[in-house]
């Protein structure tokens, strides 16, 4: 393992791996009322018909024909069938989430928002930065007819500015700790043995499993290592404090990084070079008996048909041994200042993604989108057992777990810090003292934030 880490090249920019995990690519079209698709945000923006809705129509930018687009189609049909039979949802498909970000940047930089659609789907981790940079691009949805208490506090925190709601959640990024129960059982363990345990106990089990089976418990790519973030969120701790990176002066942060380095060195956590190695080599390639990430990783797990019925999910370990809950990735819908009919947009979002069982049942069945709405997660569809996970009703379990995720301080420089801590982890594994590696990462992040 050390030899593999020693041979690594410089760590690349981080954004790409999260997009891969959250379905950043797309293909195919959509058909809800009226639909247009473009190769880029700029091309789509030039289509006046897509950006200008009539009295009963709305336009929306979204990406991923196999995930987000089917969810929007479900919402469009729901609203058309149950609220307004004349309603049309014009879905303008983007090739990736970056196309939406580029469209906002182009409009905000020019001060001309007239080419934007009524609604955009936007990554949660990026919204605060884009709200600061382009505050005139957005309309709040604070008065939408939505029971905000029906959503987890952590999910809503991404889209709230000064106490006001700006976004309506789409997908649930709650982290699952998924394990091959057949391998655990062969090594003398059960799912209960992995639930409500300390990281120290996790390492003990992982070492034993590796010795007996040759498989790592979990993996995470070196060029997009989200383990620190999700492990710390399960502790209710952020790597930022009052807007600044806080890696060296927080005992919990230091302990988590020490734990990660120990897991790598003791063959509990496998760290391939990149995202492809993470998905194709370690998960699909059967090098691990566990996966710990946002639940959007489930379709990757399910690619191996022969493993059907052998998986189960549970909560994360923590330092204390309490059950841990975290979230990684996800997006929400935002109304732009160019919206021709804000009241219609708010009503559409409220009566679909704001809590409609019909919308979310079909979004789950057709695209695999798991709701963030707690009541919608109690439907019969969500309660159904999933064959691949040995009949476990994992979707209702995930929604329940999402309500327990603790909000932590977020930052516009989330990915900058992740890039720098990726380098720190490699340095730790190669022998650098944890404190020195974290100080380098903290100093570099401060520099990138414009500090000294």
Q: What are phi and psi of 180, to 5 degrees?
A: -80, 105
Q: What is the pTM of this model?
A: 0.83
The domain covering 17-173+328-378 belongs, at the CATH homologous superfamily level, to: Periplasmic binding protein-like II (3.40.190.10)
Domain 175-326+408-448 is in which class? alpha beta
Name the token pair of 199. 């990281």
Taking the domains of the chain in order of start, what are their residue ranges? 17-173+328-378, 175-326+408-448
DSSP structure class, residue 321 = S
By DSSP bridging, strand 331-336 and strand 57-63 are unpaired
Question: pLDDT (tens digit, 0 to 9) for every residue of the chain, 452 residues total?
Answer: 333 333 333 333 333 333 333 433 333 333 344 444 444 434 444 344 334 445 899 999 999 998 999 999 999 999 999 999 999 999 999 999 999 999 999 999 999 999 999 999 999 988 988 999 999 999 999 999 999 999 999 999 999 999 999 999 999 999 999 999 999 999 999 999 999 999 999 999 999 999 999 999 999 999 989 999 999 999 999 999 999 999 999 999 999 999 999 999 999 999 999 999 999 999 999 999 999 999 989 989 999 999 999 999 999 999 999 999 999 988 999 999 999 999 999 999 999 999 999 999 999 999 899 999 999 999 999 999 999 999 999 999 999 999 999 999 988 899 899 999 999 999 999 999 999 999 999 999 999 998 75
Report the candidate in 335, 152, 319 with the shortest Cα–Cα distance to residue 250.
Answer: 319
């Amino acid at each position: 393992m050390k030899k593999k880490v020693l041979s690594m090249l410089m760590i690349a920019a981080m954004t790409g791996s999260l997009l891969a995990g959250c379905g950043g690519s797309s293909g195919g079209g959509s058909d809800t009322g009226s639909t247009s698709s473009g190769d880029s945000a700029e091309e789509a923006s030039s289509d006046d018909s897509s950006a200008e809705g009539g009295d009963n129509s709305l336009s929306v930018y979204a990406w991923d024909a196999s995930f987000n687009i089917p969810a929007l189609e479900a919402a469009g049909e729901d609203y058309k069938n149950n609220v307004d039979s004349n309603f049309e949802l014009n879905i303008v498909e983007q090739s990736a989430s970056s196309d939406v970000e580029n469209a906002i940047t182009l409009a905000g930089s020019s001060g001309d928002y007239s080419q934007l659609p009524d609604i955009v789907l936007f990554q949660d981790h990026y919204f605060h930065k884009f709200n600061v940079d382009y505050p005139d691009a957005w309309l709040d949805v604070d008065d939408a007819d939505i029971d905000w208490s029906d959503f987890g506090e952590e999910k809503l925190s991404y889209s709230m500015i000064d106490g006001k709601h700006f976004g309506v959640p789409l997908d649930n990024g709650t982290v699952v700790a998924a394990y091959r129960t057949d391998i655990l059982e062969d090594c003398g363990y059960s799912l209960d043995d992995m639930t409500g345990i300390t990281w120290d106990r996790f390492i003990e089990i992982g070492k034993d499993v590796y010795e007996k089976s040759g498989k790592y418990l979990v993996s995470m790519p070196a060029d997009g290592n989200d383990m620190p973030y999700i492990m710390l969120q399960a502790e209710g701790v952020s790597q930022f404090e009052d807007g600044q990176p806080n890696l060296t002066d927080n005992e919990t942060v230091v302990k988590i990084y020490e734990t990660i380095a120990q897991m790598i060195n003791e063959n509990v956590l496998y760290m391939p070079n990149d995202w492809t190695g993470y998905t194709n080599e370690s998960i699909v390639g059967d090098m691990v008996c566990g996966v710990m990430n946002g639940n959007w990783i489930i379709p990757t797990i399910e690619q191996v048909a022969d493993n059907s019925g052998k998986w189960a999910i549970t909560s994360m370990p923590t330092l204390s041994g309490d059950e841990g809950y975290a979230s990684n990735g996800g997006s929400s819908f935002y109304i732009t200042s160019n919206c021709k009919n804000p009241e219609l947009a708010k009503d559409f979002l409220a009566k679909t993604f704001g809590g409609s069982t019909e919308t979310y049942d079909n979004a789950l069945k057709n695209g695999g989108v798991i709701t963030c709405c707690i009541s919608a997660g109690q439907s019969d569809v969500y309660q159904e057992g999933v064959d691949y996970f040995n009949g476990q009703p994992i979707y209702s379990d995930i929604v329940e777990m999402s309500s327990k995720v603790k909000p932590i301080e977020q930052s516009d420089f989330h990915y900058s810090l992740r890039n720098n801590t990726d380098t720190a982890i490699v340095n730790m594994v190669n022998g650098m003292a944890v404190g020195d590696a974290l100080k380098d990462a903290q100093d570099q992040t401060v520099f990138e934030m414009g500090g000294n």
